[in-house]
Structure 1
Amino acid sequence: MFAYSARQLMAAATIGLCAIPATAAELRYAHVGAEGDFQTRFAAEAATEIEEATGGDVTVQVFPASQLGNVAEMVDGVRMGTIQMGHHDFASLARIVPEVAVFNAPFVYTDAEHAMRATDPATSPALQEINERLIEEGGVRIIGRIYRGARHISSNFEIKSPDDMAGKPFRAVPLDLWVSMVTGFGATPTPVEVSELPTALMTGMVVGQENPLTMISANKLNEVQSHVAMTGHMQSVLAVFVNEDTWQSLTEEQQAAITEVLDAKAAESLQWAQESEAALVEELKGKGMTFTTAENGLDLDAFRENVLAQIDQDFPDFGPYIEQIMSMQ
């Protein structure tokens, strides 16, 4: 009834194909953060802003709170490409390149701004060198970072020096760097996944842990912990990473748009953390927690000396990178 020429049919097919963006991408983004944590807000807002910045050609579906597995499973998923994006401590990528954990090392940053400069994928020589190795050896690329605040120690008793922690079971993130650091604290490191932490504290499997105040509040650890020692031993910066094949499948314009969004969100995360810490101290005091600081007896020098000695012993290859990090003032 209707007759079409071959040229007309080809033109119609071409128009139909052009209606579907050739470079459209759907990214699954996983992390272990709980509701209320800065990292959860970061991922949710970044997903929305990436879609807007790419005109809808790149969509991001976020899976928080260990929905796609624990830290190791999430990292493996990104390496294999079954998960396209994720974020966690830099040390979570240490199974690929052990030295990447240096960016989580305790007492290596002078302050939060220094930590953000030293972990900028675009300008940090140390990170650029390690990123090339991550791409080559693991097919994973760091493309951004999140600032969560300084990490402090919480417990169900007062802590003023490493002597107060001697021999006691303290939670360590299940990564070698954290085991080394908790050993340097003088405690007995006990690896516990974050999703299992409240239960481990409640049952006495561990008697303390260390995290930013945002995490302590979001996970209601005040219900099972009575004290916070404001050691500020780590500036908590998380790496945002992507499967390299996925990254290379995007156009340069899409890559630039995503990077711009992540850089802006990184700056916002720093602002969120800095504005909230004083308020969080007051909030947690109101919920019954007691805070120990240098002003009322916390021996920060003892913590710094013990922990850095332990890190130097356990990770001798960190030395050159620590020098590079400390030189970025």
Structure 2
Amino acid sequence: MFITRRTVLSAAAGAAAFAGPARAQARWQMATPYPDGNFHTRNVRAFVEDLQTRTNGAIQVQLHTNGTLLPMPQIKRGVQQGQVQMGEILLSAYGNEDPFFEVDGIPQLVTNFDEAKKLMDLARPYIEARFQRQGVSLLYMVPWPPSGFYTNTAVESIEALRGTRMRTFNVMTNRFATLVGASPTLVQVSEIPQAFATGVVNAMVTSAATGVDTQAWDYAKFFTNVGFTFTRNAVFIQRRALDGLTAAQQAAVREAAAAAETRGWQMAREAAESQQAILGQRGLTVSAASTALMEGMSRVGRTMADEWVTRAGDDGRALIAAYRAGT
């Protein structure tokens, strides 16, 4: 029997109705845009297995990786509409929907994992409230390791990026490219190698983990670590699906999510070193940013922070004030 993507989605849509207090059983679909080897995906898989164990198999989740069921721009809507019951997204990629989701995409706002954790904890109530209004519940968030520039020439200053064709993946990277005089082009993770190979882009800023996932040594020569951002992935569930569980099962979902968040942060810290080392081993010239480059990054970061506060309104101003009060 030939099973189409539409068939899978139709079956997934019916799973939410199947999950209810009377049956206390759930057969869910989950979509993530990242490949199997990525640490986020490995963490999601561990979360799914933990959830199934904690509920004695009452909750079964079929995980679809690498955007095979839904591409990243469609995952959140897919969960809201019940095409899938759970999903994972890069939160800042949804900045066009709500600028508040972009806060972790402000360059140099946070410079280490501890600051990233503080910003996440402060932002969480705002994100949870927004998700609740949209019919989904936030389960956990995990950051990407700090990002760097992938190029074929050395980047000694911010001016070296002028005139490049830069791969972007959210509103903030698009704005950054514009501010430094590059031409921004939206490219999903799975499409990066082809975009470089065909000349659509010739520079990007992203984590070492994504560089390894996409075998950056095949299309770039330099990785310059600037600690650009610590953007976060969010894992979430359709509220109707969650509400259809028993109280004990809902608690199990929350407990598995809390464990996944703790585990994911540790995996992110480990990936920051291990993945960058792999880039060097495979032939990229890996270097720290020069003083001149970091000064340029700071200038652009301040501009983008001011712009973001204007777009994010009262919630944005309150968040930045709370964050800066403790740093």
Structure 2 length as normaliser, TM-score?
A: 0.85
**Structure 2 residue aligned with 1:130:** 127
**Structure 1 residue aligned with 2:85:** 84
1:82 maps to a residue whose letter is Q
- Against the structure 1 CA distance between its residues 302 and 95, is the aligned structure 2 distance closer, same or farther, given a 3 Å change threshold? closer
1:213 maps to a residue whose letter is A
- Against the structure 1 CA distance between its residues 142 and 182, is the aligned structure 2 distance closer, same or farther, given a 3 Å change threshold? farther
In structure 1, distance between residues paired with 2:96 and 2:239: 17
**Structure 2 residue aligned with 1:299:** 293
Note the residue ranges of structure 2 that are not aligned, 5 or more in a row.
1-20
In structure 1, distance between residues paired with 2:55 and 2:119: 28
Note if contact 2:39-2:271 (Cα within 8 Å) is conserved in structure 1: no
SS state at 1:240 partner: strand
2:276 maps to a residue whose letter is V
SS state at 2:115 partner: helix
In structure 2, distance between residues paired with 1:272 and 1:250: 30
In structure 1, distance between residues paired with 2:182 and 2:305: 15
Which has the higher mean CA deviation after the structures are superposed, 61-70 or 102-111? 102-111
For residues 140-196 of structure 1, what are the alpha-carbon distances to aligned partners after superposition, in whole Å with 9 as ceiling and x for unaligned?
2222012331121111111122100012110000x3222113323442211112221
1:323 maps to a residue whose letter is A
- Against the structure 1 CA distance between its residues 328 and 248, is the aligned structure 2 distance closer, same or farther, given a 3 Å change threshold? farther
SS state at 2:34 partner: coil
**Structure 2 residue aligned with 1:45:** 46
1:71 maps to a residue whose letter is M
SS state at 2:231 partner: strand
SS state at 1:232 partner: coil
- Against the structure 1 CA distance between its residues 252 and 128, is the aligned structure 2 distance closer, same or farther, given a 3 Å change threshold? farther
In structure 1, distance between residues paired with 2:286 and 2:58: 48
Note if contact 2:34-2:41 (Cα within 8 Å) is conserved in structure 1: yes
Q: Could you tell me how far 1:299 is from its partner in structure 2? A: 2.0
Note the residue ranges of structure 1 that are not aligned, 5 or more in a row.
1-19
**Structure 2 residue aligned with 1:214:** 209
The partner residue of 1:319 within 317, 320, 324 is: 317
In structure 1, distance between residues paired with 2:148 and 2:139: 27
Query: Quick check: 1:58 aligned with 2:59?
Result: yes
Q: Could you tell me how far 1:302 is from its partner in structure 2? A: 1.3
**Structure 2 residue aligned with 1:287:** 282
Size of the alignment, in residue pairs?
303
Q: Could you tell me how far 1:21 is from its partner in structure 2? A: 6.8
**Structure 1 residue aligned with 2:138:** 142
SS state at 1:233 partner: coil
SS state at 2:228 partner: strand
In structure 2, distance between residues paired with 1:70 and 1:327: 38
Query: Quick check: 1:239 aligned with 2:237?
Result: no
Note if contact 1:145-1:262 (Cα within 8 Å) is conserved in structure 2: no
Query: Quick check: 1:308 aligned with 2:308?
Result: no
- Against the structure 1 CA distance between its residues 91 and 304, is the aligned structure 2 distance closer, same or farther, given a 3 Å change threshold? same
Which has the higher mean CA deviation after the structures are superposed, 79-88 or 110-119? 110-119
For residues 218-267 of structure 1, what are the alpha-carbon distances to aligned partners after superposition, in whole Å with 9 as ceiling and x for unaligned?
22111101101101111132111221222222233222222222222222
Note if contact 1:153-1:210 (Cα within 8 Å) is conserved in structure 2: yes
State which structure, 1 or 2, has the greater radius of gyration over its C-alpha atoms.
1
For residues 33-53 of structure 1, what are the alpha-carbon distances to aligned partners after superposition, in whole Å with 9 as ceiling and x for unaligned?
013211110111111011001
1:187 maps to a residue whose letter is A
1:260 maps to a residue whose letter is E
**Structure 1 residue aligned with 2:8:** none
In structure 1, distance between residues paired with 2:127 and 2:265: 23
Q: List structure 1 runs of 4+ shifted beyond 4 angstroms.
A: none
**Structure 1 residue aligned with 2:258:** 263
In structure 2, distance between residues paired with 1:325 and 1:112: 14
**Structure 1 residue aligned with 2:98:** 97
**Structure 2 residue aligned with 1:34:** 35
Note if contact 1:180-1:314 (Cα within 8 Å) is conserved in structure 2: no
Q: Could you tell me how far 1:213 is from its partner in structure 2? A: 0.8
- Against the structure 1 CA distance between its residues 275 and 232, is the aligned structure 2 distance closer, same or farther, given a 3 Å change threshold? same
- Against the structure 1 CA distance between its residues 244 and 263, is the aligned structure 2 distance closer, same or farther, given a 3 Å change threshold? same
Q: Could you tell me how far 1:297 is from its partner in structure 2? A: 5.2
1:211 maps to a residue whose letter is T
In structure 2, distance between residues paired with 1:148 and 1:313: 23
Q: Could you tell me how far 1:315 is from its partner in structure 2? A: 5.3
For residues 252-291 of structure 1, what are the alpha-carbon distances to aligned partners after superposition, in whole Å with 9 as ceiling and x for unaligned?
3222222222222222222223234333333222211112
- Against the structure 1 CA distance between its residues 135 and 94, is the aligned structure 2 distance closer, same or farther, given a 3 Å change threshold? farther
- Against the structure 1 CA distance between its residues 53 and 235, is the aligned structure 2 distance closer, same or farther, given a 3 Å change threshold? same
1:39 maps to a residue whose letter is H
